[in-house]
Every structure is written in structure tokens, then in C-alpha cells.
């Protein structure tokens, strides 16, 4: 989806139209934030955003460019092959292909990525060939189970689907970032940042091409408040005109979102830490 107009977004998601003028709508925030963030020089803002979310310098200066970057909102992504009915049918005829445990995993439907960014590809000789999935949350925690599998949480499923997509597209790097208004990472994010837990939660992916240590460092979290601070720090570095205007508008938007949607538990956290 390339349009930045709210009207265009509503036409593309008519079932969400009654919620789009409410700043407590995750879909509205997704469309407003990322349709404007893509106007900013990626080597100035997006690089900082990814590195801050992951907690280390993953993207080096000069690795991102407008030319090779693509955005898609609410992208439907197919489940891994071991989560499809076809896998179970193959097992019945050729059980030697894989284990019974893998073949009989609960099947899943398509996963919807709130925002999927393609950060270049090998065919265009991009400095960086990677994909980034953003999961947006507002006043909500990631689901601890899914409708298909009560033992599989939402974050593990999303990372598994993204990882499978990277394997199928021969993309060497991928990143998953949870974007919410909490004051600390969700426990599911913290769990997958540990390589041993990652291998236990997502056992069916290619750990030869994508080592557990690498993938665990590719899973991140960031808050609306931190994004607002990054925009404020970034603004003096942007070009005058559309970039600077988009940055200023986003700061005002996030100020409003933060003031309206501060989690109650965060207020108690601030008091206990001696903040005012």
C-alpha cells in the first residue's frame, strides 16, 4: 500500500472505517506513522530506529537507501510448510520425509504483518538485503496463544512466519520489532532474545543459514515514547521541506498518543522509581 491518505487506507480496509478517526486505533497509528516515517531519510532515521530497537548497532551508515526500500501495510504471509494441511498429507504417503511431530503440528492460516519493509535485495545489488516486520500494539499485550495453536504465542508465530519467508526469498537478514506503548519489552520478546529459548520455541527453521545467536539479536522492541525522542534527535539532521515537516507532524502526533494512552501500570512504575 503506497498511499498516505487516510481516505485511501479506509478504502483498502473498509471493515476498519468506523475506527480510523480514533487515535486509539492501532490501524490508524500504523498507517499514519509508517506512511510518514518512510518520507524520512532511512540512513538518518530508520537506521537509528532499528539499532535502538535491537539494542546494538546492526545497521551501518550507508546501508539503507530510498531506491531499494518498499513498504506494505497488513501484508498477508503464508504459514511455514509444516503448518499447512499439505504437510500432513505428504507425511501419510512419505513418512520418512520428516518426523511425526513436525507433520502433525496444528495447521495455521495466513499471518498479517502490520507493516512489512523490504530493505533492498540481492538482485538490485543493495548494500543491505533484509526484511523487517513491525508489529504494532496499543494498550494491549501480544497474545499468549493463537486460535490455531494454544501453545504458540503471537510473537513466536510472527517470527517463525517471517523467518520462513526469509528462507523462501533467500534473504540473508531479517528483523522483527514490536512497537508499543509499554515501558518494558513483552516477556515473549525477552524470551526469544535468548538463543536456547528461541530454538525451543521455533524448532523447525534453518539454523545453519540463520544461526540462533544471529536471529535472537534480530528481535527487538521499542516504545512510542522512544520513537518520539528519536524523531526529536533526528529532526535537525533532516532536509528542510517534506522531511522536516513530516518529522514535526509525527512528534505532535506521538505527543498526543502518549498523553492519551499511558498504561496504568506505567504510572505506578514511575512512582515506585521516584519519578514525578
Q: Which of 20-29, 62-71, 109-118, 222-231 has the highest mean pLDDT?
A: 222-231
Give the residue with greater pLDDT, 55 vs 83.
55
- What is the Cα–Cα distance from 102 to 96, expressed in whole angstroms? 12
- Tens of pLDDT, residues 128-184: 678 999 999 988 888 887 777 788 899 999 999 999 999 988 888 999 999 998 888
Closest CA to 70 of 138, 137, 148, 169: 169
Tracing cell 532536509 back to the chain, one arrives at: 239
pLDDT value of position 99: 55
Q: How far is CA 49 from CA 9, 112, 144, 229, in A?
A: 24, 22, 26, 11
- The grid cell for 56 is 546494538
- The grid cell for 158 is 510472527
Mean pLDDT value across residues 11-25: 49
- Tens of pLDDT, residues 88-134: 555 555 555 555 555 556 677 889 999 999 886 544 555 567 899 99
Indicate yes or no: pTM above 0.85. no
Amino acid at each position: 500500500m503506497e498511499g498516505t491518505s487516510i481516505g485511501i487506507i479506509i478504502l483498502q480496509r473498509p471493515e476498519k472505517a468506523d475506527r480510523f478517526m480514533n487515535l486509539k486505533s492501532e490501524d490508524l497509528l500504523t498507517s499514519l506513522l509508517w506512511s510518514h516515517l518512510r518520507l524520512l531519510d532511512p540512513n538518518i532515521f530508520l537506521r537509528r530506529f532499528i539499532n535502538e530497537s535491537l539494542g546494538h548497532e546492526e545497521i551501518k551508515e550507508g546501508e539503507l537507501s530510498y531506491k531499494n526500500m518498499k513498504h506494505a501495510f497488513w501484508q498477508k504471509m503464508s504459514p511455514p510448510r509444516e503448518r499447512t494441511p499439505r504437510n500432513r498429507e505428504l507425511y501419510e504417503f512419505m513418512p520418512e520425509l520428516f518426523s511425526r511431530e513436525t507433520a502433525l503440528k496444528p495447521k495455521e492460516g495466513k499471518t498479517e504483518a502490520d507493516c512489512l519493509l523490504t530493505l533492498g535485495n540481492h538482485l538490485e545489488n543493495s548494500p543491505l538485503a533484509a526484511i523487517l516486520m513491525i508489529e504494532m500494539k496499543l494498550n494491549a499485550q501480544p497474545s499468549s496463544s493463537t486460535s490455531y495453536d494454544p501453545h504458540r504465542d503471537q510473537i513466536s508465530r510472527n517470527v517463525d512466519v517471517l523467518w520462513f519467508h526469509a528462507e523462501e526469498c533467500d534473504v540473508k537478514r531479517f528483523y522483527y520489532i514490536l512497537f508499543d506503548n509499554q515501558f518494558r519489552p513483552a516477556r515473549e520478546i525477552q524470551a526469544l532474545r535468548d538463543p536456547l529459548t528461541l530454538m525451543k520455541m521455533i524448532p523447525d527453521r534453518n539454523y545453519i543459514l540463520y544461526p540462533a545467536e544471529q536471529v535472537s539479536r534480530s528481535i527487538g522492541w521499542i516504545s512510542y515514547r522512544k520513537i518520539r525522542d528519536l524523531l526529536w534527535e533526528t529532526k535537525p539532521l533532516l532536509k528542510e521541506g517534506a522531511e522536516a515537516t513530516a518529522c514535526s507532524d509525527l512528534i505532535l502526533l506521538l505527543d498526543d498518543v502518549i498523553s492519551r494512552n499511558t498504561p496504568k501500570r506505567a504510572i505506578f512504575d514511575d512512582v515506585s522509581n521516584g519519578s514525578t
